[in-house]
Amino acid sequence: MNNREQSKIPTLPGRVVITSSGNLAQKVAQQFPPETVITLPYDRISLDAPDTFVLVPGIQLVDAALMDSLPQLKLIQRSSVGVENVDIPAATQRGIYVANVPSAGTGNAESVAELAILHMLALARNYQDGELNWDQPEGQSLWGKTVGIYGLGGIGQALARRLRAFEVQLLGIKQHPAPSLAAALGLQWLGTPAERSHLLQHSDFVIIAASADNVTQPFAWEDFQQMKSTAYFINVTRGIWVDEIALVKALQNRIIAGAGLDVFQQEPLEPDSPLLQANLNLRLTPHSGGHTDTASTGIAKAVAANILLVAQGQPPQHLIRG
């Protein structure tokens, strides 16, 4: 950033603290004067940065105690859609804004959709990382298969648009479905969460693309029993959507053919997690759906824009109200 650009940035009353290092932190820092944006481990924030003005947390809990230890805190800015780790009522009581970054339009939804397709292909083709097996059994083509997408927000819609190129049949579920959405996305069927049995029973791939905002009934043993024995289950949004013990049981008993997970109820996974058992047809990725160059650049711009708005005395975009 040159001197002219820096002169346009208002002086912040404190620092911006990001709890995860990496490309996102670097790209946000590039848009502010030196030393304005720092990265710290979660347990060092209160000790090393009591002047925190904006906090960009990862998946760690942001509770009232942490807020009270940061008297200059004005904005808790998530770098993704989910804000379930933030005590929003406590923030509202203290006059602290809470904002997120919608997945659509930043490259995040598109990146997560790509990872969902990676899981589909890996499962369908029985791909094993680093293994060259010339006697590998016959795989499956996506062409002509039926894909059920549970959740048609930014990620679900991005996924549906990409899957049309594979010439699959698309089923979808949305909290408040509009008939025009089915036509726009090329869906053969569009239902509500109350109708998820239809999606489970007719899909060759069931993909969870819903946010954590409306988790009233996680996918459990009864749901896996409704799926085809040849079907695959994939979750790329939030681990809270899945009863992991039930999923392991379904895989062990061949109730479904396989599964792919990018998100988990506890992250990172413990070494003794049942999901790490051998002999499960289960593909795991480390919550990396949105970890791409495009997504980090788009998210960094959105985060920086909100920091500037709050520094100028304005509310942030995509404000979450308690």
- Give per-residue pLDDT as tens, 152-187: 999 999 999 999 999 999 999 999 999 899 999 999
Residue 121, beta-bridge partner list: none
Identify whether residues 12 and 64 lie together within a single domain: yes
Identify whether residues 164 and 306 lie together within a single domain: no
How many other CB atoms sit within 10 Å of the CB of residue 217?
Answer: 12
pTM for the model: 0.88
For residue 206, the domain's CATH number is: 3.40.50.720
Q: How far apart are CA 110 and CA 114, in angstroms?
A: 6
| Element (DSSP H or E) covering residue 172 | strand 169-173
Active-site residue, 287 included: yes
Least confident of 158-172, 246-260, 264-278: 264-278
Residue 278: which domain range?
A: 108-284
Q: Could you say which of 5, 167, 222, 267 is catalytic?
A: 267
Q: Could you say which of 202, 238, 283, 291 is catalytic?
A: 238
How many other CB atoms sit within 10 Å of the CB of residue 95?
Answer: 8
| Domain-located, residue 90 | yes
Please give the tally of structural domains in the chain.
Answer: 2
Active-site residue, 318 included: no
Identify whether residues 38 and 147 lie together within a single domain: no
| Domain-located, residue 115 | yes
Q: Please, which pLDDT band fits residue 17 given cuts at 50, 70 and 90? A: very high
